[in-house]
Structures are given as C-alpha cells and as structure tokens.
C-alpha cells in the first residue's frame, strides 16, 4: 500500500526528514508543507539529498512562494485541491507530527 508522507517541520535542526527518507518506499511520495519547504533551499544538504533520491516530491505552492524558494525540476508545486487529490490517490497519509 502506497503512502504519502507529509512533513511540515524545517529539516534544519530536526530529524523528521532524515528519518522519513530512511523508511520511505519506492511507491511512496513526499509532500512538503509549511517550514518543511525549506528543504528546497538550493545548495543545502536536504536539497542535495532530495535531488538525488529520485523520489516523488510535492510542495505546497503557497509555502514556497511565501519563503522565496525555487521549485526544482524534481519537485512539483501544488495547491490545496491537488493536496486533497493526492491524499486520496495514495492508500494512506503519514503525517510526521
């Protein structure tokens, strides 16, 4: 069963992203919301890891816009209706609270 992993904490000074990347499956996807979007800051360790893992990565468009972050070609910026669709598309959602 596929899982949509939902992160909302900054990857700097928090190990949720590291931990999530350790257990995420090939059929799974990652959705960055809130401060988790900072993982898209170019040139940083989280950015480099995500860029080379070949995972499906989504990010909320309003969160990257608010934080002046680019959306790299390996990530897809989405709006809330698309977020809802994604959470239905995957068998379950795992929110890293």
Contact mark string toward other proteins, 32..71, x via CB under 8 A? ----------------------------------------
Rounded CA separation 73/44 (Å): 16
With binding defined as CB under 8 A, does residue 89 bind other proteins? no
What number of chain residues touch other proteins (CB under 8 A)?
A: 16
Q: Which two tokens stand for residue 16?
A: 């949720």
Token pair listed for 28:
């799974």
Instruction: Give the DSSP H/E element, type plus range, for residue 32.
Output: strand 29-32
Catalog residues that contact other proteins under the rule CB under 8 A: 1-3, 15, 19, 22-25, 27, 91-92, 94-97
């Amino acid at each position: 069963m596929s899982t949509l992993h939902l992160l909302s904490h900054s990857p700097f000074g928090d190990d949720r992203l590291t931990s999530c990347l350790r257990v995420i499956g090939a059929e799974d996807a990652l959705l960055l919301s809130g401060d988790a979007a900072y993982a898209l800051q170019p040139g940083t360790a989280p950015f480099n890891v995500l860029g080379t893992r070949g995972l499906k990565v989504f990010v909320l468009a309003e969160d990257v816009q608010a934080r002046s972050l680019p959306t790299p070609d390996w990530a897809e910026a989405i709006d809330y209706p698309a977020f809802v669709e994604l959470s239905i598309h995957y068998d379950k959602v795992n929110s890293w609270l």
